Amino acid sequence: DRLEQHMKELAPADKKVIEEFIQGIRACIRSDLPIEKAPELYGRIDGLKLLSKMSPFLRVMRKWKRIPIQDFAKRFSDPFLRQAFPLSFDLPDFPMMGMLATLAWMHNKSAGYPVGGSLEFSRAIERRYLDSGGEIHYRSPVSKILVENDKAVGVRLADGTKHRGNIVISAADGHSTVFDMLEGKYINDKIRGYYDKLPVFPPLVQVALGVARSFEGLPPSIIYPLEEPVTIAGREHKSVGVEIHNFDPTLAPQGKTV
């Protein structure tokens, strides 16, 4: 509601476009994504239940997944919104769906910034696993997944030791798992297509600076338009984003900032 009000204060003439945008976010807020099971564990009944639960969301998705943020921004008549709106997700051809879903998840508090950063997030999973009796072996790169009769039965580590298990799950990236650890023996056109045909997500560069002052009164996230665009690796950038991490007290002592 606050976002809608703020945008309407900034650009009263764009009331209709703003309402369409906010309606998209609200539709995503109401959709509950099914995360209780991995997709491959869904049976036919689960599938039907899922379809009825997800149908309002699928309708929203069909509409918004085809509209790049840059194109939607052109519908605002207000010059500030036209310029500022696409900067909030400044990636080429990024669909509106990604923006709506992110804002909806943040509203529902199912997405956000974990205090302590991603390491603390991983540590929480580690603690839970260890408390439940699990064991973790760090610094143990896997060179091969052992396969017998087309079933994964264990792993061989880079140091040559073999470890067998009833269930083998790779949490490594798909390419290493499919092409290195399984030696490319279990691929089809669909899997190969993921690596050969899908567009590569543009890399992001983040520079973290420790600064001996605080920045009271400034918002945690600011996007500065550049006076002159900068071209890096063939792509023109018209803005630079700054995150002031004072909302995370674990990153810097009092009075200092990352």
Ligand X SMILES: Cc1cc2nc3c(=O)[nH]c(=O)nc-3n(C[C@H](O)[C@H](O)[C@H](O)COP(=O)(O)OP(=O)(O)OC[C@H]3O[C@@H](n4cnc5c(N)ncnc54)[C@H](O)[C@@H]3O)c2cc1C
Query: What are the residues binding ligand X (CB under 6 A)?
Result: 141-142, 171-173, 176, 181, 204
**Would you say 60 or 178 has its CB closer to ligand X?**
178
Least distance to ligand X from the beta carbon of 149, Å? 23
Least distance to ligand X from the beta carbon of 105, Å? 10
Least distance to ligand X from the beta carbon of 224, Å? 20
Per-residue DSSP letters for the chain?
-HHHHHHHHH-GGGHHHHHHHHHHHHHHHH-----SS-GGG--HHHHHHHHHHHHHHHHHHHHHTTSBHHHHHTT--SHHHHHHHHHTT-STT-BHHHHHHHHHHHHTTSS---TTHHHHHHHHHHHHHHHTT-----S--EEEEEEETTEEEEEEETTS-EEE-SS----S-HHIIIIIITTT-S--HHHHHHHHTSPPPPP-------BSS--TTS-SEEEEEEEEEEEETTEEEEEEEEE-GGG-TTSS-TT-B-
Least distance to ligand X from the beta carbon of 170, Å? 8
Residue nearest to ligand X (CB): 172
**Would you say 152 or 172 has its CB closer to ligand X?**
172
**Would you say 48 or 223 has its CB closer to ligand X?**
223
**Would you say 10 or 187 has its CB closer to ligand X?**
187
**Would you say 5 or 122 has its CB closer to ligand X?**
122
Burial code (b: 16+ CB inside 10 Å, e: under 16) for 227-240 equals eeeeeeeeeeeebe
Least distance to ligand X from the beta carbon of 90, Å? 13
**Would you say 10 or 157 has its CB closer to ligand X?**
157
Least distance to ligand X from the beta carbon of 83, Å? 24
Least distance to ligand X from the beta carbon of 203, Å? 6
Backbone torsions φ then ψ of 86, nearest 5 degrees: -70, -15
Nearest CA to 38 out of 50, 27, 55 is that of 50
**Would you say 77 or 176 has its CB closer to ligand X?**
176
